[in-house]
Structure 1
């Protein structure tokens, strides 16, 4: 790695940071400085074996952040809105990183951002895990720190966990309960983020200062269900619910507001995403690779 410019990757053992670190290591243009709080965890050890410099830093600790960022060309920054109890914690962390990146004169920061929904809707909707990232985006621009925001669409991986199809009362049908009505929902695999970030870092003149909405495709819930049915050979149907139904069934208000915002069709650019990552997978391709995770167990319930 001697002589290579350094890119610092935050959250390197997580989904987003892990995708970026892997793509940077595969590309080989930059030396990778992978940031994690625990350098002994298996994912960190794996990164070190793959050629990354693995360092310990905490988004609440300015001294450790400064050490991690010193001498770097660029950085990929991801913050976690769901960590900690303070609503403004993500904003505080994001601003701290932004100030350091500005002071240490990084040439480009790629920030995993999202829209400030509260600001866009003039207070009609609040989506805290969007709004905080939108506030951090705004701060990067306010202090004139060179930053490109990548705004990911709905993760396909969510369909393996919190939004996996659920068994209907008839015992035969699985229902896909994405509260979007008939409005298409942008989607992408979080694993396809990395190559897009590499492209941005290698072309700062083209992408510096932009907000880039990443999407691999725009499908209705019915279309998602049809693809899942064909590939898994199970009967999967659109549950045909709206955010209001989702809330009445026990869904969180903030998540319902997220889908209300998605129904406003925020800017996610499929063509640009394909340009940034020519190997980005559409939903059908992703499903083919992950169909085993959707197979029913012996009781007929999705795993």
Structure 2
């Protein structure tokens, strides 16, 4: 164990961090150290069964973070804005890991970052769950931590919940209620993120100091609808809803989601070709829907 590189994975009991932890665990030369507030959580126990070292750690505690990173080669960090709906808390957590990484001399941090939309648009647009990650990303660079920032696309998994097709009130068909006009929307399955991050850790000379945008493919809402129709045998259409009408729907987090869609209209930089190089088995949306047909059964 002592001769192996140690990579600490934060957020490993969640979907994104779990995908990363499982992918890195496939490398026999690496010891995966999982950070979790609850070591008895089923997801933590499952990772331990796969060979991970599971350690109790609270991201809000500088002492915990320094303790778990001690002796590590690198770390993967994802923070969860939605847990506390606080950009400030997310930024504080990210900076705590950045400071500890610098102090302890970690050789490679892979950070799940996003654009600082407020800064990019000179204050015209705010996307809180992007902006906080963007601030943390900037902080990592500013203090000289050897880092790769990975910026993700929308999850295909969103189509199983918040973006699930909605039954039309005026006919026997379903609508995708996404205000994207005809602008392609980058997407990826969360399960495919881990192998891409594992590839980045294996090639530090290529990716240190860089920002990498991950996307399996970019499709218009109509193309997403066509794939759902073909695979599920139901008629799914693009609702063609405007951003203004979308904001009036009163959905949970609708203003935050609308702001995110406005930013997606600007086509943030995601690299489909590089993503397929990092993870040659990355799934298309068609493959994703085929593999998850049961989850759409109640349409």
Q: Same fold (TM over 0.5)?
A: yes
Q: Does residue 272 of structure 2 align to residue 262 of structure 1?
A: no
1:212-291 equivalences under 5 Å are 212-251=212-251, 252-291=254-293
Secondary structure at 2:22's aligned position in 1?
helix
The alpha carbon displacement at 1:83 in A equals: 2.3
Secondary structure in 1 matching 2:149: strand
Output one character per residue of 1:251-283: Cα deviation in whole Å (capped at 9) or x when no partner: 421210100000100000000001111111111
5+ residue gaps, structure 1, are 297-301
CA distance in 1, matches of 2:198, 2:87: 31
Structure 2 alignment gaps of length 5 or more: none
1:29 CA drift (Å): 3.0
Write out per-residue CA displacement over residues 201-248 of structure 1, whole angstroms, 9 at most, x where no aligned residue: 111110011111100001000000000011011111111113222102
Q: CA deviation at 1:249?
A: 1.6
Q: CA RMSD in A?
A: 1.0
TM-score, normalisation: structure 1: 0.96
> Following the alignment from structure 1 to structure 2, what is the Cα–Cα distance between the partners of residues 137 and 272?
21
The structure-2 alpha-carbon separation of the partners of 1:71 and 1:282, relative to structure 1 and needing over 3 Å to count, comes to same
Query: What is aligned with 1:33?
Result: 33
1:165 aligns with 2:161: no
Q: Which runs of 4+ in 1 moved over 2 A?
A: 83-87
In the other structure, the counterpart of 1:43 is 43
* 2:87 and 2:129 in contact (8 A); partners too: no
Equivalent pairs counted in the alignment come to: 297
Please state whether the residue corresponding to 2:59 is helix, strand or coil.
coil
Q: 1:170 offset after TM fit, Å? A: 2.6
* Per-residue deviation, 1:61: 0.6
Paired with 2:114 and 2:106, the residues of 1 have a C-alpha distance of: 22
Q: Distance in 2 between matches of 1:200 and 1:46?
A: 24
Q: Indicate the larger mover: 235-244 or 104-113.
A: 235-244
Q: Give the Cα–Cα distance (whole angstroms) in 2 for the partners of residues 125 and 29 of structure 1.
A: 44
**Separation in 2, partners of 1:85, 1:120:** 22
Report the Cα offset of residue 85 of structure 1. Answer: 5.3
Distance 2:88 2:177 in 1: 30
Deviation at 1:191, TM superposition (A): 0.9
Partner of 1:16: 16
How do 1:203-214 and structure 2 match up within 5 A? 203-214=203-214
Moved more, 287-296 or 111-120: 287-296
Name the counterpart of 1:121.
121
Aligned to 1:67: 67
